[in-house]
């Protein structure tokens, strides 16, 4: 071959070696990190803390005085700036519609607060101490043995949602003919009735540890996980860190971002129908219009990632501002086209009572600031340095895509993170709050996934209550 030929072979071999090395360092899978499962997040010194593992019944209860004070605040309204001519929700929450929301909140919703509070207490609520924090959760179990397989499931909300997102889904799961579900629906730390961290560093990975510890505390060594928004990321982290505890993971916002994300997204853009079922290409492309939408909708995130306490202060004790800030997301994140409607399309998917139930949880628990801190903790160098999207998980995974959600990820990318992706669906309607918007569709998708996993013989369900 000669000297030149040998040189070429050596050069090719060296390039191959370096290429493999670069791939492994920057793109290859990583082992899961070890997180402290007993990290302390409460106030003061951990040395003086002794965890009380008791599970206490809890009831949502606010006095007539608290509700009266809120009504007084809603009567003392600011001078609204009228919307620009011809503008609906394109500039944010339309002040004309906001007046209607506040009027109903004051004169309609609060006049029947006893009924709404009873509705919120419809399912059994509890609290328990986990790693220094009072964690609130709903726990729904079958009342008697039926002979059906018993499946524990953890359902997790996100921001600006709450436990009320799952009320319709809970009811449907209770009536399931094939399985008896033992449902745990927690308020995330710093959300609603769950205590906020007193320490920095409680990001989605650390919340996943708390959620796993909660399930083990309740006696569930193996369980299903379902989540959207933060619930999706926390759920993904949970099955990554504790695959031995997870029967399966179902998400309505599969948003894994492995290192191959940008490369594969670009390659797929050259011929999308080769990588994505042709009828669903518009879930992902045209790419730049999707990016533009994210940029339009993510201003809140940048503020909450960098200055959560500042924006939180402006909303604390300010029910009108809080309602506008939260409900505007329920408009645009349900369907971006709803920005063009006078009421933001809110009445198309939600009842006013359901939306105000959610706002009331944030207002009455004074949790808007602490809920927003999760954004700041999620984007620290330490949190991102965990590289959890580079840690594949063997847990059976299901992805339900709703067309109008904020972001979508196709299977070719997801399989880098979820090699056991056994369920992948596309729904032509529905958005970010799927369990609340289209509960029938969400329920069916979740059940289809669970049946696939159960029928595959990958789990051995417990038949004991």
Tokens of 207: 């919340």
| CB of 382 closer than 8 Å to CB of 376 | no
C-alpha to C-alpha distance for 31 and 235, rounded to whole angstroms? 18
Collapsing DSSP to helix, strand or coil, 24 comes out as helix
Question: Taking the CA of residue 387 as centre, how many other CA atoms within 13 Å lie in the half-sphere pointing to its CB?
Answer: 15
Burial profile 263-299: b = 16 or more Cβ within 10 angstroms, e = fewer? ebbeebeeebeebbeeebeebbbeeeebeeeeeebee
C-alpha to C-alpha distance for 123 and 139, rounded to whole angstroms? 7
Burial status of residue 64 (CB atoms within 10 A of its CB: 0-12, 13-18, 19 or more) = exposed
Rounded (5°) CA angle 354-355-360: 95
Tokens of 346: 């809110």
C-alpha to C-alpha distance for 194 and 212, rounded to whole angstroms? 15
C-alpha to C-alpha distance for 276 and 224, rounded to whole angstroms? 27
Q: Which residues are designated catalytic?
A: 229, 375, 432
Strands 223-227, 397-402: pairing kind: unpaired
Strands 55-58, 150-156: pairing kind: unpaired
| CB of 281 closer than 8 Å to CB of 272 | yes
Closest CA to 185 of 145, 224, 240: 224
C-alpha distance across the termini of the chain, in Å: 74
C-alpha to C-alpha distance for 37 and 234, rounded to whole angstroms? 15
| CB of 212 closer than 8 Å to CB of 242 | yes
Collapsing DSSP to helix, strand or coil, 279 comes out as helix
Q: What's the chain's length in residues?
A: 465
C-alpha to C-alpha distance for 67 and 354, rounded to whole angstroms? 17
| CB of 131 closer than 8 Å to CB of 160 | no
Torsion of CA 279, 401, 454, 438, to 10 degrees: -110
| CB of 225 closer than 8 Å to CB of 156 | yes
C-alpha to C-alpha distance for 408 and 284, rounded to whole angstroms? 6
């Amino acid at each position: 071959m000669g000297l030149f030929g040998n040189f070429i072979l050596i050069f090719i071999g060296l390039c191959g070696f370096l290429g493999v090395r670069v791939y492994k360092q920057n793109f290859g899978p990583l082992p899961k990190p070890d997180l402290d499962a007993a990290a302390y997040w409460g106030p003061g010194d951990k040395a003086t803390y002794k965890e009380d593992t008791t599970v206490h019944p809890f009831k949502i209860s606010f006095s007539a005085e608290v509700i009266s004070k809120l009504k007084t605040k809603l009567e003392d309204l600011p001078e609204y700036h009228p919307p620009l001519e011809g503008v609906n929700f394109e500039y944010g929450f339309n002040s004309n519609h906001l007046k209607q929301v506040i009027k109903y909140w004051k004169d309609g919703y609060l006049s029947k607060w006893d009924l709404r509070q009873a509705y919120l207490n419809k399912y059994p609520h509890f609290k328990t101490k986990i790693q220094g924090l009072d964690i609130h959760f709903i726990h729904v179990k079958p009342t008697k043995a039926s002979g059906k397989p018993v499946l524990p499931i953890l359902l997790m909300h996100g921001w600006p949602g709450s436990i009320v997102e799952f009320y319709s889904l809970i009811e449907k799961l209770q009536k399931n003919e094939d399985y008896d579900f033992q449902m745990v629906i927690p308020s995330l730390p710093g959300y609603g009735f769950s205590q906020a961290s007193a320490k920095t560093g409680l990001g989605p990975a650390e919340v996943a540890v708390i959620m796993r510890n909660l399930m083990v505390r309740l006696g569930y060594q193996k369980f299903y996980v379902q989540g959207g928004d933060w619930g999706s990321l926390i759920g993904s982290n949970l099955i990554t860190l504790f695959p031995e505890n997870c029967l399966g993971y179902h998400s309505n916002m599969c948003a894994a971002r492995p290192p191959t994300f940008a490369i594969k997204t670009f390659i797929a853009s050259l011929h999308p129908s080769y990588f994505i079922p042709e009828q669903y290409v518009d879930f992902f492309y045209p790419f730049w219009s999707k990016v533009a939408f994210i940029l339009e909708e993510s201003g809140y995130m940048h503020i909450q990632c960098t200055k959560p306490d500042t924006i939180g202060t402006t909303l604390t004790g300010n029910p009108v501002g809080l309602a506008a800030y939260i409900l505007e997301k329920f408009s645009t994140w349900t369907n971006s086209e709803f920005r063009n409607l006078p009421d933001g399309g809110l009445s198309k998917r939600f009842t006013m009572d359901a939306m105000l139930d959610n706002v009331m949880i944030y207002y009455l628990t004074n949790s808007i600031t602490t809920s927003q801190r999760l954004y700041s903790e999620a984007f620290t160098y330490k949190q991102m340095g965990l590289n959890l999207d580079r840690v594949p998980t063997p847990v059976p995974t299901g992805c339900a895509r709703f067309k109008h959600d904020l972001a979508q990820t196709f299977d070719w990318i997801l399989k880098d993170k979820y090699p056991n992706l056994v369920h992948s669906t596309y729904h032509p309607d529905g958005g970010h709050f799927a369990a609340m918007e289209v509960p029938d569709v969400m329920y069916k998708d979740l059940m289809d996934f669970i049946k696939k996993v159960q029928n595959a013989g990958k789990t051995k369900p417990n038949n004991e209550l």
